[in-house]
């Protein structure tokens, strides 16, 4: 009688163990769960693009051709680039000389020079600053080599969201039709420079 009871107890224990194994076997093993979980993709940080700066070396030279006139223009600033801030008065110097082709002895005059400063940032162009003009009586300033033209324009304060300033130049020339003529042909050349602002980094 006691032997039969012991057998029943053993059978009950074995059955309980099987049930425990069956219940734990219903889910996926821990190593399969961890392998199946999706790992969140790392968030890519946005790296701000550097602002181009045509005066990064302190100066730049451009060759502009309009009709028979080719102008060589040197641009620079007496204010170092690390001081080109939004609130500073920023001088822009230029020096120009021209040649005419074919050179039959006619002269070239600069009648009008203008600069318009347009502040901006990576997403938009802002309202331009008032245009600056240098104009003289006709026919203008003699700019045929070896005679040259020099001028200083100034970029004033720009909005706080500006990261750079685009300088738009227009040069209007009068060219003698013949060396002794009082009649002139008009030619117009344009140019632009982009200058980064020292405090133009986002959040700066």
Region 4-29: mean pLDDT is: 49
Query: Confidence class of residue 116 from pLDDT cuts 50, 70 and 90?
Result: very high
**136: domain range?**
59-196
Residue, of 122 and 8, whose pLDDT is higher: 122
- CATH number of the domain that residue 122 is part of: 2.60.40.1470
pLDDT at 129 over 70: yes
Query: Confidence class of residue 197 from pLDDT cuts 50, 70 and 90?
Result: very high
How many structural domains are present in the chain?
1
Q: Is residue 25 part of a domain?
A: no
Nearest to 145 by CA among 117, 103, 180: 103
Q: How far apart are CA 84 and CA 88, in angstroms?
A: 6
Q: Is residue 92 part of a domain?
A: yes
**What's the CA dihedral at 172, 57, 196, 173 to 10 degrees?**
0
């Amino acid at each position: 009688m006691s032997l039969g009871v012991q057998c029943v107890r053993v059978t009950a224990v074995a059955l309980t163990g099987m049930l425990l194994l069956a219940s734990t076997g219903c889910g996926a093993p821990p190593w399969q769960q961890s392998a199946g979980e999706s790992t969140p993709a790392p968030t890519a940080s946005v790296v701000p693009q550097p602002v181009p700066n045509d005066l990064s070396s302190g100066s730049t030279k451009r060759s502009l051709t309009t009709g028979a006139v080719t102008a060589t223009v040197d641009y620079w600033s007496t204010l170092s680039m690390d001081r080109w801030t939004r609130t500073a008065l920023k001088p822009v110097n230029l020096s120009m000389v021209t040649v005419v082709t074919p050179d039959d002895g006619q002269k070239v005059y600069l009648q009008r020079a203008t600069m318009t400063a347009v502040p901006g940032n990576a997403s938009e162009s802002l309202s331009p600053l008032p245009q600056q003009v240098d104009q003289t009586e006709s026919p203008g300033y003699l700019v045929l080599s070896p005679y040259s033209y020099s001028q200083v324009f100034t970029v004033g304060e720009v909005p706080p969201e500006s990261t750079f300033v685009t300088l738009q130049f227009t040069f209007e020339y009068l060219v003698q039709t013949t060396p002794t003529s009082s009649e002139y042909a008009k030619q117009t050349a344009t140019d632009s420079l982009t200058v980064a602002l020292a405090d133009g980094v986002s959040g700066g």
